[in-house]
């Protein structure tokens, strides 16, 4: 049965399009965190949507499950093929074309396997901005980004990935192609299927291309690094910047001193932009399409006021683009740098922004009591209430001993997140990692509706089975 399936796939795909075990599948089979490992039947790499559709139809005929994979940077095990039934890994890495940039409708149409950076570069070459910024953008693909409804640094201004989606082209579980690409900003003709597929993590359809809304390129920008005494002070700064900068505020990132310490262990040449030894820091980025210097002047004026008020302890305004990039490099190195502190237990949570200071005041001492010496490295997109609540092992504790406490620490963290009306999966999705927590914590009516949608679109549970609600 497997042999005849693979023979049929071979007839559909060209030579580079099918990798069987022994053909170098490794880079598709391991994932970024090294937490899960695929055992794929094979890897299919279609070069266009008709071949993609033929592959999915072949899987449907043989009842072979399919796991879509983009850049394989997902952090919840969504793109691994490790189910009970042997699964086909379906990589979009040969479908990378930018099909068109439409200046009149301010949008672009891109294939699912195109990386975020390549799509953004093509938009910029045509004079436009693709409004999404992720540290993983060199590898993460448009398909993966839409399938996970990725967030990122600029969500506070532009929203999550779904906000830029005007239409998608997708292959359904039986191999039919839905031609839903569209530049329309207004289309209320029936249910919004494109938005249903966004965030579905490969469980409802395979995305093959998307039409994405673009914005004007920035003409002026101001970036600042601030030292603040507490998350409450950071919130005060956020409120003031939002009020004065309005739409121009594009990122507001909270960074603890612990994260800077980890980054300096990884990159000894990295310097903190401010001398202050504050426990908390904030990275602010703002820009607008209007030319001039007014934004920098406005930011400076507000920061001076906040300094006089005591909300800001110290501040550095980037003088050059290179300096702004260096500030961001510090921020974007945190995930990698945390590995210098040994193993960690991570939570991608969101909370109503106003709850964050008291949430941290409640939970951080509790964690110290639970695991003395634990090193919380809590950072992220404070502007939209999304924290990477990462806990590094105590220096004098064995890695295995710390990881053995994961379930207990998850209970502690998620119980308090849910009690405050937050989410246990803010931007990385559910995948395998948070499937049980979704089942435990979602509204039962919503969960049942999700299961019915899955059943309607994928009755044989062939698309990424075992993930999300499958």
Residues within the interface to ligand FAD (CB under 6 A): 32, 67-75, 78-79, 92, 112, 134-136, 140-141, 143-145, 147-148, 150-152, 201-202, 206-207, 335, 427-428, 431, 464, 467
In angstroms, what is the minimal distance from the CB of 448 to ligand FAD?
22
DSSP symbol at 352: -
State the Cα–Cα distance between residues 334 and 449, nearest whole angstrom: 38
In angstroms, what is the minimal distance from the CB of 417 to ligand FAD?
17
Nearer to ligand FAD, 393 or 464 (CB): 464
State the Cα–Cα distance between residues 451 and 470, nearest whole angstrom: 8
Q: Tell me whether residue 44 is exposed, middle or buried, using C-beta atoms within 10 angstroms of its C-beta: 0 to 12, 13 to 18, 19 or more.
A: buried
Nearer to ligand FAD, 152 or 376 (CB): 152
Helical H segments across 333-442, by residue range: 334-337, 356-370, 399-403, 406-419, 435-441
Residues paired with residue 387 on neighbouring β-strands, in sequence order: 349, 380
DSSP symbol at 393: P
In angstroms, what is the minimal distance from the CB of 386 to ligand FAD?
8
State the Cα–Cα distance between residues 156 and 245, nearest whole angstrom: 12
Nearer to ligand FAD, 387 or 391 (CB): 387
In angstroms, what is the minimal distance from the CB of 141 to ligand FAD?
4
Nearer to ligand FAD, 9 or 206 (CB): 206
Q: C-alpha distances in angstroms, 291 versus 130, 243, 324?
A: 19, 21, 18
In angstroms, what is the minimal distance from the CB of 180 to ligand FAD?
13
In angstroms, what is the minimal distance from the CB of 310 to ligand FAD?
31
Nearer to ligand FAD, 29 or 313 (CB): 29
Q: C-alpha distances in angstroms, 378 versus 87, 222, 439?
A: 36, 25, 26
State the Cα–Cα distance between residues 176 and 458, nearest whole angstrom: 12
CB 88 within 8 A of CB 445: no
Nearer to ligand FAD, 207 or 330 (CB): 207
Tell which residue, 423, 470, 451, 464, has the closest CA to residue 78: 464
Please give the angle made by the CA atoms of 98, 103 and 106, to the nearest 5 degrees: 85
Radius of gyration of the chain (CA): 23
In angstroms, what is the minimal distance from the CB of 68 to ligand FAD?
4
Nearer to ligand FAD, 67 or 108 (CB): 67
In angstroms, what is the minimal distance from the CB of 365 to ligand FAD?
28
Nearer to ligand FAD, 72 or 350 (CB): 72
Q: Which residue's CB comes closest to ligand FAD?
A: 144
């Amino acid at each position: 049965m497997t042999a005849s399936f693979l023979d049929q796939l071979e007839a559909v795909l060209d030579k580079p399009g099918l990798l069987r075990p022994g053909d170098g599948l490794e880079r598709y089979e391991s994932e970024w965190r090294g937490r899960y490992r695929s055992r794929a039947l094979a890897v299919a790499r279609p070069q266009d949507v008709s071949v993609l559709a033929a592959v999915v139809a072949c899987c449907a005929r043989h009842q072979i499950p399919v796991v879509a994979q983009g850049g394989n940077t997902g952090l919840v095990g969504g793109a691994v093929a490790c189910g009970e039934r042997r699964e086909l890994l379906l990589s979009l890495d040969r479908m990378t074309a930018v099909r068109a940039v439409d200046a009149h409708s301010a949008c672009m149409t891109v294939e699912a396997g195109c990386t975020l950076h390549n799509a953004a570069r093509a938009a910029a070459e045509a004079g436009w901005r693709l409004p999404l910024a992720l540290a993983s953008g060199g590898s993460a693909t448009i398909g993966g980004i839409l399938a996970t409804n990725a967030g990122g640094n600029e969500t506070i201004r532009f929203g999550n990935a779904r906000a830029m989606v005007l239409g998608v082209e997708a292959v359904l579980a039986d191999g039919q192609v839905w031609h839903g690409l569209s530049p329309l900003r207004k289309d209320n003709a029936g249910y919004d299927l494109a938005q249903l597929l966004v965030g579905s993590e490969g469980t409802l359809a395979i995305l093959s291309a998307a039409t994405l809304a673009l914005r004007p390129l920035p003409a002026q920008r101001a970036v600042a690094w601030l030292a603040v005494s507490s998350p409450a002070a950071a919130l005060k700064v956020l409120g003031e910047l939002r009020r004065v900068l309005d739409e121009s505020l594009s990122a507001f990132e909270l960074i603890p001193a612990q994260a800077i310490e980890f980054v300096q262990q990884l990159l000894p040449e990295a310097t903190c932009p401010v001398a202050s030894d504050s426990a908390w820091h904030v990275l602010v980025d703002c820009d607008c399409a209007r030319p001039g210097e007014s934004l920098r002047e406005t930011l400076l004026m507000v920061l001076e006021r906040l300094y006089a008020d005591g909300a800001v302890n110290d501040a550095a305004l980037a003088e050059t683009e290179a300096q702004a990039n260096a500030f961001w490099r510090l921020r974007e190195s945190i995930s990698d740098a945390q590995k210098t502190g040994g193993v960690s237990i991570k939570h991608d949570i969101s909370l109503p922004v106003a709850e964050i200071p008291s949430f941290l005041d409640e939970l951080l001492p509790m964690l110290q009591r639970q695991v003395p010496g634990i090193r919380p490295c809590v950072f992220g997109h404070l502007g939209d209430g999304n924290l990477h609540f990462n806990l590094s092992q105590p220096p004098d504790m064995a890695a295995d001993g710390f990881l053995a406490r994961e379930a207990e620490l998850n209970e502690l963290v998620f119980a308090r997140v849910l009690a405050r009306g937050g989410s246990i999966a803010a931007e990385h999705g559910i995948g395998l990692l948070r499937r049980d927590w979704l089942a435990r914590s979602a509204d039962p009516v919503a969960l049942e509706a999700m299961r019915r949608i899955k059943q309607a679109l994928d009755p044989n549970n062939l698309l990424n089975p075992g993930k999300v609600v499958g």
